[in-house]
Amino acid sequence: YGPPHVVILGAGYAGFAVARGLGAAPARVTLVNPYSYHYFTTLLHEPVARPRQRERVALPLAPYLPPNVRLWLGRATAIDPRRRVVEVEDRATGARRRLQADLLVVAVGSEPLFFGIAGLEERALTVRDLSSGPLIRSTVEHHLARYAAGEMGPEGRRIVIGGGGYTGVELAAELAEVRHDLARATGVAPGAIEIYLVEAAPTLLPGFDPPLVRYVTRFLERVGVRVITGTPIAEVTPRHVILADGRRLEAGTVIWTGGVRAHRLVEQAGFEVDKRGRALVERDLAARGCEGVYLAGDAAAFPGDDGRPLPPTAQVALQQGEYLARALTRRLRGQPVEPFRPHLLGTVISLGRRDGVGLLRNGYRVTGRAARVLKSATLWRYLYRIGGVPLVARVMGGASLQPL
Ligand code: NAD
């Protein structure tokens, strides 16, 4: 007995916001996450260019959680939404335990979607978690060094990024920016390092503002990225990336940024899901047909104004998490709850450290340094909400956070 038990699965933008916002709720809360820290998914590609900045893309969870929230380090391995029972594998012991929730929030995020393309999942690196940036960097360096030593053929100097959406574009710009560092570190001529960005649709960033797409494409071409559009990657072999039009690119490093789907757990739990594995939710983010179960962030398909699900972005996840914290607090107090309403502020895409593009809510376009500053500003704003000025100063000042 005692106060109701709220269980939150995942401490990404959505789950962390729910946990932070439940301080005044008459409940005891368990936040289940595999790691003791929260990372900024929007910055995961940055350590590719700036390997020492790991402490800038993550922060420890515990100092920012209210007293009624307990952090349990473990991985959810199964969800029974009808009975609100979750199975969790404890990180320290490996033992599996069951948790019974009165209210359950599933915010387990997304994973790469490989579309069943032959060889892709086995061969490609992805931008997925804190280890991704350093792994991409070290793989590229390793291949370049072997090429320089004559242990690898021309494929050793070629990087192919599959998927010219937001992640692919940001990553390509980041890699191009460190071309000279990579060259110096490995003894390969800068001009010999080839970065390809392959996009299936007729343009990069399909669906995004056309003038800004042109700006991005020109930027990437200017910094030496070879942009191929209108042709999907059809197959990946140990030495090649094969395009649907028959072209074969010899490639040592293959990075897949071709899209995401909700974490498998959502589909396995038996939620009604869309074709990207996201659970269909009601206006208050409740799972369809499951009492007391809610979904937020990339795990949820919430219809936008055009009827299509909102995109799996940090902005949406954060707003849904903050909404759920308020809504669940009200619910636990027996008060009525309003539906979730997104307030989309726009999209900002970084192009390395000094450039970028942004499309703001009113249709206003920003390019260049101003857009890059805007992207940093969204992080400052986020940090400010979590830990006020001291946290902004600490992260942006580069002083190391508590060890992860
Ligand atoms: P995405 O789905 O936006 O882009 C994937 C791209 O890969 C698409 O353009 C698609 O046409 C292409 N593609 C698919 N199959 C392909 C194939 N076989 N060959 C070549 N290309 C192929 O995925 P993402 O870029 O990882 O972004 C995921 C979500 O995260 C998006 O909703 C995005 O809004 C968000 N995001 C936002 C930012 C930002 O705002 N700065 C940055 C990163 C991600």
How many helices and strands, by DSSP H and E, does the chain display? Answer: 9, 24
Nearest atom in ligand 1 to the alpha carbon of residue 45 is: 43
Q: How far is the CA of 285 from the centre of ligand 1 (A)?
A: 24
What pLDDT score was predicted for residue 57?
85
Kindly indicate the confidence band of residue 401, based on its pLDDT and cuts at 50, 70 and 90.
Answer: very low
Q: Which of 48, 111, 216, 313 to mutate to test the pocket of ligand 1 (most atoms within 8 A of CB)?
A: 313
Does residue 171 line the site of ligand 1, with CB under 6 A?
Answer: no
Nearest atom in ligand 1 to the alpha carbon of residue 165 is: 4
Mean pLDDT for the stretch of residues 76-84: 98
Kindly indicate the confidence band of residue 404, based on its pLDDT and cuts at 50, 70 and 90.
Answer: very low
Kindly indicate the confidence band of residue 399, based on its pLDDT and cuts at 50, 70 and 90.
Answer: very low
Inform me whether the pLDDT recorded for 361 exceeds 60: yes
Q: Whose CA is nearest to atom 39 of ligand 1?
A: 349
How much of the chain exceeds pLDDT 70, in percent?
A: 97
Q: How far apart are CA 162 and CA 24, in angstroms?
A: 45
Nearest atom in ligand 1 to the alpha carbon of residue 167 is: 25
- Evaluated on CA atoms 279, 281, 285, 288, the torsion sign reads negative
Inform me whether the pLDDT recorded for 398 exceeds 90: no
| Model ipTM value | 0.97
Q: How far is the CA of 334 from the centre of ligand 1 (A)?
A: 41
Does residue 156 line the site of ligand 1, with CB under 6 A?
Answer: no
Does residue 198 line the site of ligand 1, with CB under 6 A?
Answer: yes
Are the C-beta atoms of 234 and 203 separated by less than 8 Å? no
What pLDDT score was predicted for residue 52?
66
How much of the chain exceeds pLDDT 90, in percent?
A: 90
Mean pLDDT for the stretch of residues 296-320: 96
Active site residue 170: yes
Token pair of 365, please? 């376009």
What pLDDT score was predicted for residue 309?
95
Q: How far is the CA of 44 from the centre of ligand 1 (A)?
A: 14
Does residue 312 line the site of ligand 1, with CB under 6 A?
Answer: yes
Inform me whether the pLDDT recorded for 400 exceeds 60: no
Inform me whether the pLDDT recorded for 292 exceeds 80: yes
> Which residue is catalytic, options 170, 174, 177, 194?
170
Does residue 162 line the site of ligand 1, with CB under 6 A?
Answer: yes
Are the C-beta atoms of 351 and 357 separated by less than 8 Å? yes
Kindly indicate the confidence band of residue 394, based on its pLDDT and cuts at 50, 70 and 90.
Answer: confident
Kindly indicate the confidence band of residue 319, based on its pLDDT and cuts at 50, 70 and 90.
Answer: very high
Mean pLDDT for the stretch of residues 156-177: 97
pLDDT digits (tens, 9 = 90+) for 39-63: 999 889 888 888 766 667 889 999 9
Does residue 167 line the site of ligand 1, with CB under 6 A?
Answer: yes
Does residue 349 line the site of ligand 1, with CB under 6 A?
Answer: yes
What's the pTM value of the predicted model, to 2 decimals? 0.95
Q: Whose CA is nearest to atom 29 of ligand 1?
A: 312
What pLDDT score was predicted for residue 51?
73
Provide, for the chain, the percentages of residues in helix, strand and coil under a 3-state DSSP scheme, each rounded to the nearest 5: 35, 30, 35
Does residue 124 line the site of ligand 1, with CB under 6 A?
Answer: no
Helix crossing, 166-177 with 210-222: angle to 10°? Answer: 30
Mean pLDDT for the stretch of residues 16-41: 97
Q: How far is the CA of 251 from the centre of ligand 1 (A)?
A: 21
Q: How far apart are CA 351 and CA 137, in angstroms?
A: 17
Q: How far is the CA of 34 from the centre of ligand 1 (A)?
A: 25
Q: How far is the CA of 262 from the centre of ligand 1 (A)?
A: 14
pLDDT digits (tens, 9 = 90+) for 187-237: 999 999 999 999 999 999 999 999 999 999 999 999 999 999 999 999 999
Inform me whether the pLDDT recorded for 368 exceeds 50: yes
Q: Whose CA is nearest to atom 34 of ligand 1?
A: 313
Mean pLDDT estimate for the chain: 95
Please enumerate in sequence order all residues whose Cβ is within 8 A of that of 246, keeping only pairs 6 or more positions apart, or say none.
Answer: none
